[in-house]
Amino acid sequence: MPIYEFRCLECSQVFERLVMGGEDGSEVACPHCDSRQFERLVSAAGHQVRSGGAGGPSVQHRACTGGTCSTVTLPGPD
């Protein structure tokens, strides 16, 4: 169940809501002014990819035109 960020179009307050699977957002209201006029914001991802652990992702660096390129291989099915 994702947590979404919203911006109220009435008072510009930014707030978060846990949105259940079947919800369409119609029950979301601004906690500051109770408006139901809002826009959903794009939030930053809440995870990191680190290399070096057993079974973790592997990172391969190589020289490319214009600098260095990296390839990250994540564990799991191909």
pLDDT in tens, 8-66: 999 999 998 887 766 666 778 899 999 999 998 876 655 555 555 566 777 777 887 77
According to the model, what pLDDT value does residue 52 have?
Answer: 56
Asked if residue 61 belongs to a domain, the reply is no
On whether residue 8 sits in a domain, the answer given is yes
Residue 49, pLDDT score: 55
Q: 28, 9 in Cβ contact below 8 A?
A: no
Is 34 a member of any domain? yes
68 domain-assigned:
no
pLDDT for position 55: 66
- Residue 29 domain boundaries: 3-41
Residue 29 DSSP code: -
Domain-located, residue 78:
no
pLDDT score recorded for residue 54: 64
Helix (H, G, I), strand (E, B) or coil at 76: coil
Domain count, the chain: 1
Domain assignment present for 27? yes
